Structure 1
Amino acid sequence: MDFIFSHPKWLFLLFSIPLVFFIHFYSLGNRKKKALQFANFDAISRIEGVDFFSKNIVILFINVLILASLTFAISGLTMRTTAESSSFSYVLAIDSSQSMEADDFSPDRITVAKELASDFVDSSPVDVKIGVVSFSSSSRIEQDMTEKRDELKSAIDSIILSGLGGTDLYDAILTSTNLLIKENQKSVLLLSDGQINVGNLDDAIDYANDNDVIINTIGMGTLEGGETQYALSKLDEDALKSVAYETGGIYFPAQDKINLSTAFSNIFQLTKRKVSIELFDYLILFAIMLVVVKFFLTNTKYVDLI
């Protein structure tokens, strides 16, 4: 494990730490002089000797940690370690057409699709880039390629059923492929009931193959079908199997959740290699927590403990 900085020029701010110490103890010295000047013997008894310094050392320590955390954050501190990783980048393409409201999955197909997409994000290695696309009669990029799991899961949660009819798989594959265009190895995980009625499926497959994109598909629904507010909607496995087979991917039925977990691991094709973990978010969060702790210690009854 080692650490690198993407913006090391900001590390000069660490030289301000001695200044923090100087200001801290200089201000304490002034307070002691004032106490002696006004003959406040109660104050003198509280600030004599070691107790004089120990009363404020916790706040000093917190201030130094806040400064160091913010400096490391803006300097782009990154941890490099050896971990399980995948050479692929992925786009989650989630069907949000009206047929995804069918109730053959509980509570409905779209909810289960979002749960499976979140499970995929949770099981992915830390350095894998993932994007999110939703599609019905047209496609929408919900999240650009990123390694930030919180942003990905938020994008997935925000997907709602489209008010427009139709499922354009061609546009979904086109949008997903374009999102992956700059990545080295590309894969799409497409979650749909296969009810495709817009766009040319063969053209979609050709576009994916021309750009070296592997499409794995998950069938959202049952062969018996489920009720929507318009009609009975059944799973069309043939279209989903065709897309997966023709692009070198695999088709998975969503109802087999146990095997899906294993399938996700196989999709990632894990190998041991060096991965980089950006620590910016963690350092900022740590600094914020320290500010809260400092406020709590200096503005509550616990002030006497420091």
Structure 2
Amino acid sequence: MSISHFNAPIWLGFLAVVALIVLGYVLVQRGRHKQMLRFGNMELLEQVAPARPSPFRHAPIALMLVGLIFLTIAAAGPTSVQKVPRNRATVMLVMDVSLSMEATDVAPSRLQVAQKAGKDFVDGLPEGLNIGFVSFAGTASVMVSPTTNHEAVKASIDNVKLAERTATGEGILTALQAIDTLASVLGGAQEPPPARIVLMSDGKQTVPDFNDQDDPRHEFVAARLAKTKNVPISTISFGTKWGVVHIPRPEGGTDDVRVEVDDDAMREIARLSGGEFYTASSLQELTSVYDTLEEQIGYELTRGDASRPWLLLGMLLVAAGVLTGLLRRQRLP
């Protein structure tokens, strides 16, 4: 029963009344004790009341007083910070499925680990939240439009196919288009639901040329567009600096090609869009990143009413005090 604020703190002044009741009870008990000491025949007094009074005789009044304290707190309107699902929000999971995801520097492979962590991420989001899935290699495709059917998203993650090249910018633009489509359907007269893109990639953009930063399909241009649409991009740079893929030769054999992660580009995309940048080089690290994103994206902290527990406990204690008094002394304290 945590408390962060009171809506009507003036009611806490009633605690002074409770304090006066405690003081009055103590004074009454002392007065009774003095009257007993004035009894002239001490031998007769010991015969009338041979046993020392039990301290439990104060239990009924103590229970009721504590109950009054809890009821006073409830009357003051306590509030607490509560975690509430963002059921109107939209999340687009954008996953790199270029051939570099075959690298086994993250066992058993980057792709398999990304698939498992991605599905766990979907499982951890609120049921009412709209989730979409975009995969990209040389081009980008909306595998699942934003939906509350999370099982469909997980099934699509399981069925991704690897392809050549990496068009990160197109992945972002495709996700933005899916968000706009949903907003036009759900928005109506209200503001469109808040949206976020979660982009996971392991390598450098190859389509279009990374050095042509004026191309409208460039990842940095797409990140700036996301910023204007108020859609932050949380980027995850997944893999290691020593990743290798084996490319078959036409004449036989294979070529080993290094596929280093591109932390700098992922960091810049996050910065330009107003999102956050993360790195992960194992299933544990990737899962930890997704857990953090679940808390940020799936839930919001709001201040809500917290008086009910105090009210119920106060009522129970007052009732217990009345019942104890009746059982022990056949009357109220």
Normalising by structure 1, we get a TM-score of 0.58
User: Secondary structure at the residue paired with 1:118?
Assistant: helix
For the 8 Å contact 1:134–1:141, the answer to whether it is kept is yes
Give the Cα–Cα distance (whole angstroms) in 2 for the partners of residues 223 and 104 of structure 1.
9
Give a deviation string over 1:250-274, Cα, whole Å, max 9, x none: 112223246325412332251379x
1:263 to 287, 292, 311: 292
For the 8 Å contact 1:194–1:240, the answer to whether it is kept is no
Give the Cα–Cα distance (whole angstroms) in 2 for the partners of residues 153 and 258 of structure 1.
15
Q: 1:116 to 1:101 in 2, by over 3 A?
A: same
1:239 to 262, 265, 269: 265
Give the Cα–Cα distance (whole angstroms) in 1 for the partners of residues 297 and 116 of structure 2.
18
Structure 1 residue aligned with 2:179: 180
Structure 1 residue aligned with 2:120: 119
Q: 1:235 to 1:127 in 2, by over 3 A?
A: same
Shift of 1:170: 1.4
Give a deviation string over 1:64-84, Cα, whole Å, max 9, x none: xxxxxxxxxxxxxxxxxx983
Give the Cα–Cα distance (whole angstroms) in 2 for the partners of residues 122 and 139 of structure 1.
24
For the 8 Å contact 1:131–1:144, the answer to whether it is kept is yes
Shift of 1:175: 0.2
Q: 1:202 to 1:265 in 2, by over 3 A?
A: closer
Residue identity opposite 1:174 in structure 2: L
Give the Cα–Cα distance (whole angstroms) in 1 for the partners of residues 145 and 287 of structure 2.
29
Give the Cα–Cα distance (whole angstroms) in 1 for the partners of residues 301 and 276 of structure 2.
24
Gaps of 5+ in 2: 1-81, 184-191, 209-217, 248-254, 303-333
Give the Cα–Cα distance (whole angstroms) in 2 for the partners of residues 84 and 195 of structure 1.
37
1:191 to 175, 180, 200: 200
For the 8 Å contact 2:242–2:258, the answer to whether it is kept is no
Give runs of aligned pairs for residues 163-178 of structure 1, distance below 5 A.
Answer: 165-178=164-177
Q: 1:170 to 1:149 in 2, by over 3 A?
A: same
Give a deviation string over 1:210-264, Cα, whole Å, max 9, x none: 2221100111211222333251111110011111121111112223246325412
Give the Cα–Cα distance (whole angstroms) in 2 for the partners of residues 211 and 124 of structure 1.
23
Give runs of aligned pairs for residues 25-174 of structure 1, distance below 5 A.
Answer: 84-86=84-86, 87-162=88-163, 165-174=164-173
Aligned residues: 190
User: Secondary structure at the residue paired with 2:105?
Assistant: coil
Structure 2 residue aligned with 1:214: 232
Give the Cα–Cα distance (whole angstroms) in 1 for the partners of residues 295 and 109 of structure 2.
27
For the 8 Å contact 1:218–1:254, the answer to whether it is kept is yes
Shift of 1:105: 1.0
Give the Cα–Cα distance (whole angstroms) in 1 for the partners of residues 236 and 144 of structure 2.
20
After the TM superposition, list the runs of 4 or more consecutive aligned residues in structure 1 that deviate by more than 3 angstroms. none
For the 8 Å contact 2:100–2:203, the answer to whether it is kept is no
Give a deviation string over 1:32-67, Cα, whole Å, max 9, x none: xxxxxxxxxxxxxxxxxxxxxxxxxxxxxxxxxxxx
For the 8 Å contact 2:226–2:232, the answer to whether it is kept is yes
What is the root-mean-square deviation of aligned Cα atoms in Å? Answer: 2.1
Give the Cα–Cα distance (whole angstroms) in 1 for the partners of residues 109 and 279 of structure 2.
15
Give the Cα–Cα distance (whole angstroms) in 2 for the partners of residues 168 and 144 of structure 1.
19
For the 8 Å contact 2:96–2:136, the answer to whether it is kept is yes
Gaps of 5+ in 1: 1-81, 274-306
Q: 1:113 to 1:178 in 2, by over 3 A?
A: same
